[in-house]
Amino acid sequence: MEIQQKDRYWQESHKKKLISIIITIVLAVVVSLYLASCTCHVDIYNRFGFHPYQLVRAKVLMHMPLSIGDIMYVCWGGMLIVYIIKLIASLVRWQRYKVFFIRYLLTGIGSLATLYLLFLLSWGGNYYKEPLSDYWQIDKNKWNDSSVIQFDRYLVQKINTLAPAYRNNTFDVSVAKAKELYKKETDCFYNGSGLFIKPSLFGRLLRYMGVQGYYNPFTGEGQVDDGQPGFMLPYVITHELAHQAGISAEDDANLLAYAVSMQSQDTSFMYSACLNVWLYTHFQLRMRDSAAASAIRKQLNPITLAHLDTLKQLRIRYRNRFGNYTGDVYDRYLKMNHQKDGIQSYDKVTVSAWLWELRRRSGIVNKIYIP
């Protein structure tokens, strides 16, 4: 009788877990379909969901010196290890612990479903926005085969002009300036009150992963490796602030970072933006016309050549298989979230940035609008 009561208890427990999992998955699907059906729904999500939630997270977490998101990921990693051990142990001793195996399995599926729904509600809905270039009404038909050479040359000219006046800023100074630029140059929600960047606790690990910074969708924190070269920091910081401002696609975050930096007239930010976007543009030109790419590169000034050598040495120092693996994982993550080019989407900034630059030089661009 006692065994039968236990069996009924576990059956009821598993039934309740299964029902909660189904409800969570259905909610996630409904939210996804709702956001995908119309851009007006994403506007509603921004105005009444993401924006106020991001502001609350900023008010609570921005004054805490440590990255709460990094600490949370460490705790989740420990819990995952314990979970896997329990799952394997119960599977090995199936006859005796099959009830526990089913329980652990349902718990794992339920946790994943809940995390995805939380991700979708707290930030993931931004993946359903229209591309930033479309929002800015940038005509991509103006891009042609010669555009990549024109942009490469333009960036080299700007880099050479800016390099002599460029000065390294500390991490804190770069963050403060970047936040002011978003307040001044964009219509960022709540006048940029939801923006803040912290140094990541995983700085060295991020270098092995080939990551300069990342946005935590669960805590709303922007994290940056503050140990990277100073000439990279302004652009990386403005890129992560773009995510925090509600821009999800990586090429759009690159575009917004470039636009804000170039509008700023701040030498450090302009130089960092031109150099970073040049790295993408030059790679594309080298794939199309290696001779032209080589000839343009030779025009770079000694300061920038030294910076490029610094980046090369860092890549050599931290090159490893783990970085390739994490890159593959992130590529799949991006493709799952409606970025069909995956990790290659970063390079798409070349097209949109040049066409935006042409508009800016024509005097069309004033305020930078963020959807």
Task: With a cut of 70, say whether residue 344 has pLDDT above it.
Answer: no
What's the rounded Cα separation, in Å, for the pair 261 and 255? 10
**pLDDT range class, residue 328, cuts 50, 70, 90:** low
Strand 197-199 with 213-215, pairing: unpaired
Average pLDDT, the chain: 86
What's the rounded Cα separation, in Å, for the pair 236 and 198? 12
What's the rounded Cα separation, in Å, for the pair 79 and 158? 49
Predicted local distance difference test score (pLDDT) of residue 50: 94
Residues β-bridged to residue 186: 368
Count CA within 13 A, CB hemisphere, residue 25.
9
Predicted local distance difference test score (pLDDT) of residue 196: 94
Predicted local distance difference test score (pLDDT) of residue 330: 44
Q: Which of 75-79, 170-174, 341-345 has the weakest average pLDDT?
A: 341-345
Predicted local distance difference test score (pLDDT) of residue 341: 53
Q: Which of 33-42, 79-88, 141-150 has the weakest average pLDDT?
A: 141-150
More confident site: 246 or 2: 246
Predicted local distance difference test score (pLDDT) of residue 343: 47
Task: With a cut of 80, say whether residue 270 has pLDDT above it.
Answer: yes
Task: With a cut of 70, say whether residue 114 has pLDDT above it.
Answer: yes
Percent of the chain, pLDDT > 90?
Answer: 54
Secondary structure string (H, E, C) spanning the chain: CHHHHHHHHHHHHHHHHHHHHHHHHHHHHHHHHHHHHCHHHHHHHHHHHHHHHHHHHHHHHCCCCCCHHHHHHHHHHHHHHHHHHHHHHHHHCHHHHHHHHHHHHHHHHHHHHHHHHHHHHHCHHHHHCCCHHHHCCCCHHHCCCCHHHHHHHHHHHHHHHHHHHCCCCCHHHHHHHHHHHHHHHECCHHHHCCCCEEECCCHHHHHHHCCCEEECCCCCCEEECCCCCCCCHHHHHHHHHHHHCCCCCHHHHHHHHHHHHHHHCCHHHHHHHHHHHHHHHHHHHHHHCHHHHHHHHCCCCHHHHHHHHHHHHHHHHHCCHHHHHHHHHHHHHHHHCCCCCHHHHHHHHHHHHHHHHHHHHCCCCCCECCC
Q: Which of 8-17, 52-61, 69-78 has the weakest average pLDDT?
A: 8-17
Which sequence spans correspond to the domains of the chain?
2-128, 133-361
Q: Per-residue pLDDT averaged across 191-211, rounded?
A: 87
Q: Per-residue pLDDT averaged across 140-151, rounded?
A: 86
Q: Per-residue pLDDT averaged across 151-156, rounded?
A: 95
Task: With a cut of 80, say whether residue 360 has pLDDT above it.
Answer: yes
Task: With a cut of 50, say whether residue 92 has pLDDT above it.
Answer: yes
Predicted local distance difference test score (pLDDT) of residue 1: 44
Task: With a cut of 70, say whether residue 73 has pLDDT above it.
Answer: yes
Q: What is the pLDDT of residues 24-69, one digit of tens each?
A: 999 999 999 999 898 889 999 999 999 999 999 999 999 898 899 9
The residue type found at 171 is: F
